[in-house]
Amino acid sequence: MKKTTSVSHAVDSIHEGATIMIGGFMGVGTPEHLIDELVRQNKGGLTLIANDTARPGIGTPRDAC
């Protein structure tokens, strides 16, 4: 059986101080909806491990981490 959940519900389960590892390169494959929801829910104290070099306005901006 395949289970799915909303991004909002998934981010609810991420606690302050968690370490999150994501993929992506130059904005391609970056989980933008996850990043946006982390910011929207004001999750803090996170350690983000990413190989995404990003582009302006796309990817993992420094100020969102």
- CA 4 to centroid of chain Cα atoms: 17
What is the residue whose two structure tokens read 């070099």?
53
Q: Which residue has better confidence, 51 or 6?
A: 6
Higher-confidence position of 13 and 63: 13
Q: Return the domain boundaries, the chain.
A: 7-64
Burial 38-50 (b: 16+ CB within 10 A, else e): beeeebeeeeeeb
Mean pLDDT of 29-52: 86
Query: Is a pLDDT exceeding 60 seen at residue 50?
Result: yes
